[in-house]
Amino acid sequence: MREKIQDFLDEYLRYKITVEKAMDQVPDDALNRIVAPDGNSIGMIVRHLSGNLTSRFTDFLSTDGEKPWRDRDSEFETREYRRKEVDDLWKKGWSVLEKELASLTDGDLGKTVHIRGRPLTVHQALARSLSHLSYHAGEIVLLARMCSKAQWQWISIPKGMSKQYNQNPAHEKKPSS
């Protein structure tokens, strides 16, 4: 089985780009729109992802991923976010993640880390984190589509365009070797 840190990094970056393209299509006031009772806004989800990535990947190999200084519940408090704050939160979480992933080697994948006291291999922790990120990325894209005032610019394959896309899969990245 081929297990490589680069595989995880490639997938993280794919979701990062997807979310950024979606958020770019949202007017500033829509970053705070909550479309369902007890729901989350894009700003809230970004704050949560930033808190999660910062907590999980600060001293990733040596400390529990749920840091005592993290206040997860506050990440979901309803409040107003300005575009700059959302952008800064987004960059902060990604900066911590990217720095830590850059320091890992393929040999680290079998090492043990802890999240909330539970032991996981680095591979398991990265898979768990990537799954969490993809869940929230999907939420952000859906909210962005719902809140976009302009005509939506497709991030993935537009409806009815699969055959044309498959002839030239421009969004697909060749696997790292």
Residue 81 is assigned to a structural domain of this protein: yes
Residue 176 is assigned to a structural domain of this protein: no
How many domains would you assign to the chain? Answer: 1
Q: pLDDT value at position 33?
A: 97
**Strand (E) positions, the chain?**
112-115, 118-121
Q: pLDDT value at position 146?
A: 94
Contacts of 117 (CB under 8 A, 6+ apart): 64
Query: How far is residue 157's CA from residue 154's CA, in Å, rounded to a whole number?
Result: 7
Residue 175 is assigned to a structural domain of this protein: no
User: pTM here?
Assistant: 0.90
Query: How far is residue 64's CA from residue 53's CA, in Å, rounded to a whole number?
Result: 13
Residue 106 is assigned to a structural domain of this protein: yes
Residue 96 is assigned to a structural domain of this protein: yes
Q: pLDDT value at position 152?
A: 87
- Point out the residues of the chain with pLDDT beneath 50: 1, 175, 177
- Find the CATH number of the domain harbouring 91: 1.20.120.450
Residue 172 is assigned to a structural domain of this protein: no
Residue 174 is assigned to a structural domain of this protein: no
Contact 145, 152 (CB under 8 A): yes
Q: pLDDT value at position 96?
A: 98
Q: pLDDT value at position 177?
A: 45
Residue 17 is assigned to a structural domain of this protein: yes
Q: Which domain holds residue 160?
A: 5-167
Q: pLDDT value at position 2?
A: 55
For the beta carbon of residue 50, count every other beta carbon within 10 angstroms.
22
